[in-house]
Structure 1
Amino acid sequence: MTLLDARARTGAVARINPVAKLGASALIALPLVLTLDWVSAAVALVLECLLFPFAGIGWREFWTRTLPVWIAAPLTAVTIALYGATSGEVYVDWFFVRISEGSIELAVATFFRVLAIALPSVVLFVTVDPTDLADGLAQVLRLPARFVLGALAGLRMVGLFIDDWRALELARRARGVADRGRLRRFLGMAFALLVLSIRRGSKLATSMEARGFGAPVERTWARESHFGGREWVLMAIGAAISVLAVTAAVLAGTWNFILGPA
């Protein structure tokens, strides 16, 4: 599995209910989604960096897990700088590329915005156990048990995709059909994996129905999902980061409500 067991970690955040982690991430992301300015995103990112050491993951794992974010953020910023809305002084004007003062400002804001939204989500959920998340969604948020258990079963199957892919690759190589035609080989393996996944999903659904997972009665849970003081503290921290980020942007005069009138 790619998701690690939260009980194996020692950070202060590791054993907090996953529902609280979901809520904290949403509280941080919501104001950043509603505005496009570099001040609010930068302030939120700085405050988040102060809290990352308490997540219970090492620095090596942190950089490994967040590497896609660090790659996506500058690429997104470069795209905005080259093709974003033009305003102010124009520095480069060549065919479809137009770099201006406004596009650079938007690029900087987008860079910090992507980091401020994505990094806490990755750091918080890397410590989430899928079963704990399902318990929290069903017992704390009161989501339908049928939906929660189905999603949990599907999530548990994700870890088998890599093993299935490797097994298919070794089998095709043993039969001498994997030496050339890389694109054709990829499409063939992808189709085979799709068929295998559908068959496995059908068997899993049938077995779950046979064991009463779809019964229209209130079910019991093996483990109780607690939502107490630590969870409310994490939610409060997420709300505080949002309030401080928005306040800083408003005081600096950079707040840009993207849903407002043009």
Structure 2
Amino acid sequence: MLAGINPVTRVAGLILLTTPLLLSIDIVSALVALGCTLVAAPLCGVGPVRLLRRGWPVLAAAPVTAISMALYGSPGGAEHFSLLLIRVTDNSLHLAAAIFLRVLAIGLPVVVLTVGVDPTEVGAGLAQVLRLPARFVLAAVAGVRLIGLFLDDWHALGRARRARGLGDAGRLRRVLNQVFALLVLSLRRGTKLATAMEARGFGAPGPRTWFRPSTVGARDAALLVVCAGVAAASIWAAVALGAFRLLGA
């Protein structure tokens, strides 16, 4: 379903979908948006297992934010527990549930809509659709691609240490040494990449041509309409049921 949709359109759709959800801290709007996301995820090629595997940081962050809101949220209603600055009340528990669902409703669409996005396609969209400066776009794409090499470099450094008999003794010292080595390696690689890009004319002034054309069409417009519709339906449901709370007030 997402095949052929411009990466810039996906980002715009995320903005349309998630920004209105920041206006209110209630359970209803978050439930509606989360339900729509879970229904649409398989249609976008993200099944339950893949959603759990890719979205585990969101799933881990949601209960943490909910617990902090339950302990330190705005008090109101009956008080269930109190200790120093901690006050667990009906209102703080309601806010905790709303925050828990809202983190999922905002984070999981990001997981779904960014699946299969290639950094090169993102760069092409930024330059050709949003008309951002080519120098900035090319540098950003190159930087993102280098980030993906950090993990491989980290494992390679660890294997090199073990091959030299250094082992895993003194974990803190080992981590610090590997971090410094990774920093030096990254600086050297970045310098070589910058020199190579300049030698190939990436820093030359004037308009550039692009190997991959980046365009928008009917599918992109449909995605924006769906995202805006989900956001509007979520807010409308909260207002209709009297659950809308502007910024949790």
Return the TM-score normalized by structure 2: 0.95
| TM superposition shift of 1:209 | 1.2
For residues 59 and 131 of structure 2, the distance between their equivalents in structure 1, rounded to whole angstroms, comes to 35
Residue aligning to 2:35: 46
For residues 139 and 200 of structure 1, the distance between their equivalents in structure 2, rounded to whole angstroms, comes to 28
> For 1:174-197, what per-residue CA distance to the aligned partner results, in whole angstroms no more than 9, with x for missing partners?
222233111121111112111211
The answer to whether the 8 Å contact 1:14/1:128 transfers is: no
Unaligned runs of 5+ in 2: none
Match of 1:166 among 151, 155, 158: 155
Report matched runs for 1:65-104 at 5 Å: 65-104=54-93
Match of 1:198 among 187, 195, 198: 187
Match of 2:120 among 131, 137, 160: 131
Aligned residue type for 1:158: I
Aligned residue type for 1:253: G
The answer to whether the 8 Å contact 1:35/1:256 transfers is: yes
The answer to whether the 8 Å contact 2:27/2:97 transfers is: yes
| TM superposition shift of 1:59 | 3.0
Residue aligning to 1:8: none
User: 1:93 is paired with a residue of what secondary structure?
Assistant: strand
Return the TM-score normalized by structure 1: 0.91
% identical equivalent positions? 52
Unaligned runs of 5+ in 1: 1-11
Aligned residue type for 1:119: L
Residue aligning to 1:258: 247
| TM superposition shift of 1:33 | 1.6
1:223 aligns with 2:212: yes
1:116 aligns with 2:126: no
C-alpha RMSD of matched pairs (Å): 1.4
Aligned residue type for 1:229: A
| TM superposition shift of 1:91 | 0.4
For residues 60 and 36 of structure 1, the distance between their equivalents in structure 2, rounded to whole angstroms, comes to 29
| TM superposition shift of 1:60 | 2.2
The answer to whether the 8 Å contact 2:75/2:89 transfers is: yes
Matched length: 249
1:17 aligns with 2:6: yes
The answer to whether the 8 Å contact 1:178/1:185 transfers is: no
| TM superposition shift of 1:204 | 0.8
Q: Which runs of 4+ in 1 moved over 4 A?
A: none
